[in-house]
Amino acid sequence: MTDPLLDVRDLRVTIPTEDGDVHAVSGVSFAVEPGKVLGVVGESGSGKSVTMLSLMGLMRRAGARVTGEVRFGGTDLVTADDRTLRRLRGDDVAMIFQDPLSSLHPFYRVGSQITEGIRAHRDVSRKQAKERAIELLGLVGIPRPHQRVDDYPHEFSGGMRQRVMIAMALANDPKLLIADEPTTALDVTVQAQILALLQRLQAELGMAVVMITHDLGVVAEIADDIAVMYAGRIVERAPVKTLFRQPRHPYTWGLLRSIPRLDLPRDVDLVPIEGRPPSLIHPTGRCAFQPRCAYAARCCGTEDPALTPVGSDPEHLVRCDMDEEQGTRIWSALAAGESPEQAALAAGVPTTGTAA
């Protein structure tokens, strides 16, 4: 196993608000090896974006308290000063965001927005930077980059804008690219193009990628590992194949069952996860998913379960007290299209009866 490029340990982010402290991230640990792709999946407010923004020091001005350890190439990003972080941002670590229209400055030509990022880190002339910008626009598949480099963001379509954002992020050959829901704001057909582009670039340039999304389908093909986040912590982490084959956390089951499947009859409804995410202001100290879990019963302890290895894959970690064998049985019933009650009944688990 190679040394990880990014090593996050027990990251905690607390954001003070008028209603109290929001524990947006409470104890997240993961590592990304060079050239690997990590998918971070979870619903809105699960702390995915906050985790990544705080890695780059972008939560500091919001007054957030960040603790833990984030190792990137020998530096601890949590304790690093603003100067050090600024040197990393846009150079070794780059980011792309959800909405490419609002993420590009409306008043500047895309070329100058790209060259600005190059010249912030490299001592090159305006002309060289512009040539690099044209090269980058070509790399991300924008036709006629020589002309388009002088266009404004509003003169591009949504997909093309996201390509511009990607070009901007790649400007300084980053070792790590953080993509925060890069396809969420795009049309479905364009989504596929952007994903294919990211996949191609990742393979060509050999950079590591952290892909944040709420859609497991998005990362299924591109990711090596997947971390599922819920209420500010990772509830399940596994290599992508293991996660899709043997998911263990009831929340992951919920996510998987809300993806449309071609192998089930068309009249089978998509199954939403009942209930709402818990308040992050007053953590209960117990499993955060318990109130929404269809299988929460005697198997659940009163304490928040730790992230522990499970099953045959040593890299498969789950934060759930459920018995392994029961879990396997429930998932195989669910995967066959049965309802949570039926599945629980088959596995001999008493259900709470909250989920229909």
Partner 1 sequence: MTRLLAPVVRLLARLLAPVAALWDRFARTLPGRVVVRVFGPTVRRLVSPTARYIYRRLVWMVFLLLVVSMLAFLIFYALPSGDPAAQRAGKGADQAQIDRVKHTLFLDRPIYEQYFHYIKQIVLHFDFGFSYDTNADVAHAITSRLPATISLAAGAAVIWLIVGVLIGILSALRPRSFFDRLVMGGALLGISAPVYWLALVALALFSQSYGVIHLIPDTGAYRPLTEDPGAWFTSLIVPWCILALSFAAIYARLMRANLLEVLDQDYLRTAEAKGLSRRRVVVRHGVRSAITPIVTAFGLDLGILLGGAVLTESVFNIPGIGRLSYDAIVASNLPVIQGTVLFAAFFIIAANILVDIVYALIDPRVRLA
> Angle 88-84-95 (CA atoms, 0-180°, nearest 5)?
25
91 near partner 1, rule: CB under 8 A: yes
104 binds partner 1 (CB under 8 A): yes
CB of 11 to partner 1, least distance (A): 18
120 binds partner 1 (CB under 8 A): yes
Task: Say whether residue 87 binds partner 1 (CB under 8 A).
Answer: yes
103 makes contact with partner 1 (CB under 8 A): yes
In angstroms, what is the minimal distance from the CB of 60 to partner 1? 10
SS3 143: coil
Amino acid at 99: D
Stretch that binds partner 1, among 9-17, 105-113, 208-216, 288-296 (CB under 8 A): 105-113
User: Applying CB under 8 A, does 95 fall inside the site for partner 1?
Assistant: yes
Structure tokens at 302: 């009163």
Q: How far is CA 187 from CA 167, 190, 193, in A?
A: 20, 5, 10
**Smallest distance from partner 1 to CB 127, Å:** 20
Tokens of 50: 């906050």
Q: Which is nearer to partner 1, 22 or 322 (by Cβ)?
A: 22
15 vs 238, which CB is nearer to partner 1? 15
Member of 107, 262, 266, 312 binding partner 1 (CB under 8 A): 107
Q: By CB under 8 A, is residue 102 in contact with partner 1?
A: yes
Nearest residue to 188 via CA among 230, 149, 159:
159
Q: Cβ of residue 232: shortest distance to partner 1, in angstroms?
A: 21
- Residue 99 interacting with partner 1 (CB under 8 A): yes
163 binds partner 1 (CB under 8 A): no
And the tokens for 92? 């070794």
Q: Which is nearer to partner 1, 91 or 225 (CB)?
A: 91
The continuous run of DSSP H or E covering 101 comes out as helix 100-103
From 9-17, 116-124, 236-244, 329-337, span contacting partner 1 (CB under 8 A):
116-124
Name the H helices within 125-187.
126-139, 145-148, 158-170
**End-to-end alpha carbon distance in the chain:** 44
β-pair partners for 31: 7
Cα Rg of the chain, angstroms: 22
Q: Which of residues 143-162 bind partner 1 (CB under 8 A)?
A: 152, 154
Mention every residue, 6+ apart, whose C-beta is less than 8 A from residue 121: 87, 90, 91, 172
56 binds partner 1 (CB under 8 A): yes
**Which residue type is seen at 94?**
A
Pick 63 or 348: Cβ nearer partner 1: 63
Q: Judged by CB under 8 A, which of 67, 105, 206, 259 binds partner 1?
A: 105
> Which helix (H) or strand (E) is 31 found in, with range?
strand 20-32
Size of the site for partner 1 (CB under 8 A): 27
As measured in angstroms, the least distance from the Cβ of 338 to partner 1 is 43
Considering only 66-74, 101-109, 226-234, 330-338, which stretch makes contact with partner 1 by CB under 8 A?
101-109
Instruction: Quote the least distance from Cβ 150 to partner 1, whole Å.
Output: 11
- Bridge partner list, 22: 15
Are the beta carbons of 129 and 111 closer than 8 angstroms? no
Count the helices and strands in the chain (H runs, E runs). 13, 12
Residues that bind partner 1 (CB under 8 A): 56, 58, 82, 86-91, 94-95, 97, 99, 102-107, 116-117, 120-121, 152, 154, 165, 168
